Amino acid sequence: MSKKTVSKDELRERLTPVQFEVTQNADTERAFSGEYCDMKDPGTYRCVVCDEALFSSDTKYDSASGWPSFYEAMDDDAVERRSDISHGMARTEAVCTGCGAHLGHIFDDGPQPTGERFCMNSASLRLDRDAN
Ligand code: FE
């Protein structure tokens, strides 16, 4: 999958300040502040920057962390994993494969069947609700 080229100027216009800082500068939204933290509507969570399909609501669960959490990505190619040693911690950063936007981090304390917790920022996502 090729990286999409995204203009920072265009993003500053289109995104909220929080969405810009999280996706472009790897900031983290305040816990329990994001619009998708407690969201239970069915649909597909897409990258707020490039619209890539990243997570299905079927894999969303309540982690009580204050951030929307999923036990797996839409497919193995949708979310790229990178080593992150910032802030004095060794973590796995989750990045949108489509555009390089920062999404959040991946931890090993999630539920089965994967045992992983994709701890995401609401600010990186846009819920594409299922038609009903
Ligand atoms: Fe993206």
Is 2 within a domain? no
Name the pairing type of β-strands 125-129 and 53-56: unpaired
Write out the two tokens for 127: 């819920």
103: domain CATH number is: 2.170.150.20
pLDDT of residue 53: 97
Rounded Cα gap, residues 32 and 114, in angstroms = 24
**Summary mean pLDDT of the chain:** 95
Q: Could you report the per-residue pLDDT of 91-106, keeping only the tens digit for each? A: 999 999 999 999 999 9
Q: Could you report the per-residue pLDDT of 111-125, keeping only the tens digit for each? A: 999 999 999 999 999
* pTM, two decimal places: 0.94
Q: What is the total count of domains within the chain?
A: 1
- Amino acid letter for position 98: G
Is 1 within a domain? no
Boundaries of domain holding 124: 8-128
Rounded Cα gap, residues 93 and 24, in angstroms = 13
Ligand 1 centroid vs 114 CA: distance in angstroms?
Answer: 23
Catalytic residue among 37, 47, 96, 119: 119
Q: Could you report the per-residue pLDDT of 38-55, keeping only the tens digit for each? A: 999 999 999 999 999 999
Task: Give the count of beta carbons closer than 10 Å to the beta carbon of residue 99.
Answer: 18
> 101 and 124 in contact (C-beta within 8 Å)?
yes
Is 81 within a domain? yes
